[in-house]
Structure 1
Amino acid sequence: MLPEVVFVLGAPGAGKGTQCSHISKEYDFVHLSAGDLLREERQRPGSEYGEMIEEKIRNGEIVPVEVTCSLIHKAMQKSGKSRFLIDGFPRNKDNLDGWDRVMSDKTKLLFVLFFECSRDICTERCLGRGAAGSGRSDDNLESLQKRFNTYINDTMPIINHYDRLGLVKRINAESVPEEVFQDVKKVFDGAGLQRIAN
């Protein structure tokens, strides 16, 4: 059986990570954040990609897709599980093409979970996260401007692409996390995904 995948997309600060941790507790999905995997790889001693990843992240640019796909694939194999939330990926056409080339025959895409949230709210959340010591080199105003531009120019066309295929589930991410998760549960229950029995 092919591993099942849900892509989780939304602007920086839309609450993707928060919602993914709720989903993985309730529905037995493994949460893989493309950004976290890249940040871990960057810090791994002797990583051949570390320096390049650091530079891309700092400039709000997107890391080459082969690197990201190989890190995602390794993490999937290592987990021994069969259901995955892939958070913050695919973020541009290159990511999408790379995934289709490298991973589409190794996985089954269930749907794309899209968290919609205004730029103002997202910015406020990211700056708050940075001020609270998120340890992320990109939670500052300058990097955020770049990340938003990347999101609008590169990621929105991907969401529109999946929308045309009827695969996008939109969630209003502007309210408090608990309320947002109620809407997320409707999507997962509606897709017939079973909850973990307590």
Structure 2
Amino acid sequence: MGTVVDAPAVVAEEVTENMLGGKKVTAVFVLGGPGSGKGTQCANIVEHFGFTHLSAGDLLRAEIKSGSENGTMIENMIKEGKIVPSEVTIKLLQEAMIKNENDKFLIDGFPRNEENRAAFENVTKISPAFVLFFDCSEKEMEKRLLGRNQGRVDDNIETIKKRFKTFVESSLPVIEHYNSRDKVKKIDAAKPIPEVFEDVKTIFAPYAPKHLLALPFPSFPLLSPLG
């Protein structure tokens, strides 16, 4: 993988036309291997910077529980560590953005591959402001995943190994694509949670609510390093 740019975030230009009924949005893709801490840090970005967190995985799991005709197919693919078809995930993300009153979104765990990326931009006409990439070793991510107890079907050693392989083969090319456009902000996700959030705050400073700019951030909550 080439050199990833570690630069302050720049507020992206507004999207003038998209497939969200004309709604103008700022979208940030949040990518990183399973267990890299994306979920924990997204929760803090939501709290401090006013974004809405859209987890592709959570949306898919909710679809499974809903009993829809896509649910069984999605469940089987997740168990196999495979990637769900783009049109399924994009439709769920699109509906979530339209229904939500906010105009700033963290899209977590998507796009998972280049086909996802191209389809998302073609269908929604939305290009991300930037990609937040949580960089973490497989050894550390495996330790985190095996240590959490959420009852998820994809938290066993065999599936974890498949997910790591899928991430390296499929998701790293997406990061390279946006890196070539100076849109990747890399975070060292192996560091302690408070230190990771300090890096996150620097990147998201341009999005801080104006009334909070002069205030110190509150003490960091005790959250588990999951993603």
Instruction: Tell me, yes or no, if the aligned pair for 2:131 and 2:185 is still in contact at 8 Å.
Output: yes
What is the Cα deviation at residue 197 of structure 1? 4.0
Q: What is the aligned partner in structure 2 of residue 128 from structure 1? A: 147
Q: Determine if the alignment matches structure 1 residue 29 to structure 2 residue 51.
A: yes
Instruction: Tell me, yes or no, if the aligned pair for 1:11 and 1:151 is still in contact at 8 Å.
Output: yes
Alignment of 1:56-135 (within 5 A): 56-103=77-124, 105=125, 107-129=126-148, 133-135=149-151
What is the Cα deviation at residue 120 of structure 1? 0.3
What is the Cα deviation at residue 196 of structure 1? 6.9
Write the distance in 2 (CA, Å) between the matches of 1:74 and 1:135.
27
Q: Determine if the alignment matches structure 1 residue 177 to structure 2 residue 193.
A: yes
For 2:164, give the aligned amino acid: F
What is the Cα deviation at residue 127 of structure 1? 0.5
Identity score, percent = 47
Q: Deviations over 1:5-45 (max 9, x none)?
A: 00000010000000000000000000000000000001103
Q: Deviations over 1:38-89 (max 9, x none)?
A: 00001103x0200110011000000000010000011111211100000000
Q: What is the aligned partner in structure 1 of residue 31 from structure 2? A: 9
| Aligned pairs, number | 190
What is the Cα deviation at residue 195 of structure 1? 3.2
Instruction: Tell me, yes or no, if the aligned pair for 2:74 and 2:84 is still in contact at 8 Å.
Output: yes
> For 2:130, what is the secondary structure of its paired residue?
strand
Instruction: Tell me, yes or no, if the aligned pair for 2:121 and 2:127 is still in contact at 8 Å.
Output: no
Q: Determine if the alignment matches structure 1 residue 159 to structure 2 residue 175.
A: yes
Q: What is the aligned partner in structure 1 of residue 225 from structure 2? A: none
For 1:193, give the aligned amino acid: Y
Q: Deviations over 1:139-178 (max 9, x none)?
A: 1100001000000000001101100010000000011111
Q: What is the aligned partner in structure 2 of residue 53 from structure 1? A: 74
Write the distance in 1 (CA, Å) between the matches of 2:152 and 2:211.
35
Q: Of the two, which has the highest radius of gyration?
A: 2
What is the Cα deviation at residue 135 of structure 1? 1.9
For 2:204, give the aligned amino acid: F
For 1:98, give the aligned amino acid: A
Alignment match of 1:194 (pick from 208, 216, 219)? 208
Write the distance in 1 (CA, Å) between the matches of 2:98 and 2:211.
24
For structure 2, the 5+ residue unaligned runs are 1-22, 213-227
* RMSD after superposition: 1.2
